[in-house]
Structure 1
Amino acid sequence: MVHIWLRAEQRDNETRVGLTPKGAVELMAAGMRVSVEVSPTRVIPDAEYQQAGCTMVPSHSWPDAPKDAIIFGLKELPEDGTPLPHRHIMFGHAFKGQPAGLRLLQRFKAGGGTLLDLEYLTDDNGRRLAAFGYWAGYAGAAVALKCWAAQQHGGIAGPIGAYESSTHLLADLQSDLVATGSHRPDALIIGALGRVGSGVADLCTAMGVATTKWDMAETSSGGPFPEVLAHALFFNCVLARPGTPVFVPGDTGTQHRRLSVIADIACDPDSDFSPIKVYDQTTTWETPALRVHDTPALDVTAIDNLPSMLPLESSQDYAEQLLPVLASLSKPDASVWSRATAIYTQHIARL
């Protein structure tokens, strides 16, 4: 029997979940066992999982779970250096040479476990089967506009938080923009045809922000791309990988430009392949904007858990996409899990 152990997230400002009670019912009906850690912060209350028939277990008890349990969470594990003997389904951020990722892989190697990375659950054509991308783009565009609005008052964006719904977010953002006057910035989106770019475009449309939409065809020349400097806002929606062009060179701050806010929604600053070269660290909910140049102001926003700003909508959407993939865990030869295991094996062999 496949045993899925849904862990309670341990990262600040992370209330999302990848399996809803409704989804758990479907998995259990298919013969799986579902254990759910108690969590006071999860956006879906514990009582709903209990009513669905899940086995409730103590918070953060996954290290003591049966060795055949598959530990399922979204974001990082605590960096305590302990060996990891289980199979884990999560966003590991470990396969692009990231320092924290290498430490994580060492823990899996020491414990004999396996990282089944959510980013690498793909179909036969390499397309991800489930992604938070749309909501990352939607929330990321909102944060970028908050950064721009703060600049109009001579300041820098203050703390952000989670919203009950996208309707509440739009109302709050509209208030920020109205306070700046009738002027709206324009924006360039690179990666506009993907999930992330679609979320950016929809938020911008709702806020009256004119957008220029680029994708692979417009960036095939490899750069440089002076159009980035000609827009007030720039949204990077392209995952860092070998061959990705540089969209924002390191000297961008000193160039003649209209550009004032860079939203790196793909957010992989410590990867060698990052196309945004003016910064090297993520930003946070407490400090969403990093000022990389003063005159005129140039801010970068790069938050790596943006969908958590809309935790209920993003969780429901993602969980619905992922459910058929989780259901296929009962098939030992399911290609999606075979590919994910092979990717892990390839990277662990390099240690």
Structure 2
Amino acid sequence: MTELHLWLRHEHRTTERRTPVVPADARRLVDSGITLTVEESPQRIFPLREYEAAGCGGAPAGSWPTAPRDAVVLGLKELPDAPGELTHRHVYFGHAYKRQPGAAGLLRRFAAGGGALLDLEYLVDEEGRRLAAFGFWAGYPGAALAVLRHRGRLTAPLAPTTKDDLDAVLRPRPGDPEFTALVIGALGRSGRGAVAAFRTAGVEAVRWDLAETRDLDRRALLGHDVLVNAVLATTVVPPFLRPRDLDSPARRLRTLCDVTCDVGSPFNVLPVYDRTTDWAEPVRRLRERPPLDLIAIDNLPALLPGESSTDFSAALLPQLLAFGPGGAWGRCLDRFDQACRELGIEKREFDS
């Protein structure tokens, strides 16, 4: 295998301050013989100078289309709409394998340019377990925002913060009303984060996972004040909530946070909304009488960019050190090939 060249790109999304590789781990990559180029980024939680001090090269923001053909472009969230042909191997969360809106168009861009998507969501071991994930740092701020909204203390627009500062406003105050909370998918990474945030808020959440959702008690679900969904479905399952449930006289539910945000996908377990919310307007009112508020932000870990980046980078580092055609990365490429075949997309072969 030729020497690996990683190209850490600036994130196109303006609210994305995370990074998949922090400077301390960049140093370990460079020391192992990997070339690491880091784009300038005014919003990344770690400035370029810290990467340069770790031995990385620098590049202008958004210059990755001109990177050497064999460079592996590393990021987190969606790519800009141009260029139309993607010639590199890209490592990021593509959200393109569950028939999400725009997925086919993205895969055609890779096929047209001869590049490939190595989707971080599908970077898994032999048992299918994810090797690097932000889950805890999605569930924690998701539940925290739900608590703050329910207590009338959520302000907008949202801004990046630290866990210590978030906890300071999350802890219960005298006069806060009591409420019940339910976390679905409580045994997973995101679910554990949500449970931990509720505990910081002084609330012991009811925890559901596979056993409870296999034979769902929808009336019991509607009987909670706050619901956090942390289930990442990989097959089509009966929805947890349907539009008609929102109008049920049994509904006590007032605040709903969907950490997973599978809107538009047939795997969506909460098909009661048609668009996500965002940092500028984090809450959407789904019903007025009685009120029901939705929080569905698809980059929740970016609210805690320092903590989430550090944890994710630590998990991704050994995978990058072992980058190659087999193992977990080979499984990523196989999943990309499968997705293209399912859509009848003919790929140009990558030729480094």
Task: State the TM bucket, normalised to the shorter chain.
Answer: over 0.9
Distance 1:325 1:204 in 2: 32
Say which is worse superposed, 259-268 or 75-84, in terms of deviation. Answer: 75-84
TM alignment of 1:278-289, pairs within 5 A: 278-289=272-283
TM alignment of 1:260-299, pairs within 5 A: 260-299=254-293
| Equivalence for 1:210 | 204
| Equivalence for 1:104 | 106
Letter in 2 for 1:297: P
| Equivalence for 2:322 | 328
Once the two structures are superposed, residues 57-99 of structure 1 have per-residue CA deviations (whole angstroms, 9 ceiling, x without a partner) of 1111000000000000001111236110000000000000012
Distance 1:15 1:63 in 2: 21
Report whether the alignment pairs 1:158 with 2:156: yes
Say which is worse superposed, 74-83 or 310-319, in terms of deviation. Answer: 74-83
Letter in 1 for 2:311: D
Report whether the alignment pairs 1:315 with 2:315: no
| Equivalence for 1:15 | 17
Once the two structures are superposed, residues 148-181 of structure 1 have per-residue CA deviations (whole angstroms, 9 ceiling, x without a partner) of 123xx9xx86322110x1010111334xx638x2
Secondary structure at 1:210 match in 2: coil
Deviation at 1:47, TM superposition (A): 1.0
Letter in 2 for 1:159: P
Say which is worse superposed, 236-245 or 10-19, in terms of deviation. Answer: 236-245
Report whether the alignment pairs 1:348 with 2:327: no
The match for 2:222 among 213, 220, 229 is 229
Give me the CA root mean square deviation.
Answer: 1.5
Distance 2:82 2:27 in 1: 33
Q: Give yes or no for contact 2:151–2:177 (8 Å, CA) kept in 1.
A: no
Once the two structures are superposed, residues 88-147 of structure 1 have per-residue CA deviations (whole angstroms, 9 ceiling, x without a partner) of 000000000012222211111111100000000001100100100001000001111122
Letter in 2 for 1:172: V
Q: Give yes or no for contact 1:252–1:278 (8 Å, CA) kept in 2.
A: no
In the superposition, relative to structure 1, how do residues 310 and 304 fare at CA in structure 2: closer, same or farther (>3 Å)? same
Distance 2:330 2:202 in 1: 45
| Equivalence for 1:193 | 187
Deviation at 1:27, TM superposition (A): 1.4
Q: Which ranges of 4 or more aligned residues in structure 1 deviate by more than 4 Å?
A: none
Letter in 1 for 2:232: L
Secondary structure at 1:192 match in 2: coil
Distance 1:290 1:138 in 2: 20
Give the TM-score normalised by structure 1: 0.93
Aligned residues: 340
Structure 1: where are the runs of 5+ without partners? none
Letter in 2 for 1:298: L
Give the TM-score normalised by structure 2: 0.93
Structure 2: where are the runs of 5+ without partners? 346-352
Letter in 2 for 1:39: S
| Equivalence for 2:166 | 169
Secondary structure at 1:244 match in 2: coil
Deviation at 1:308, TM superposition (A): 0.5
Q: Give yes or no for contact 2:242–2:270 (8 Å, CA) kept in 1.
A: yes
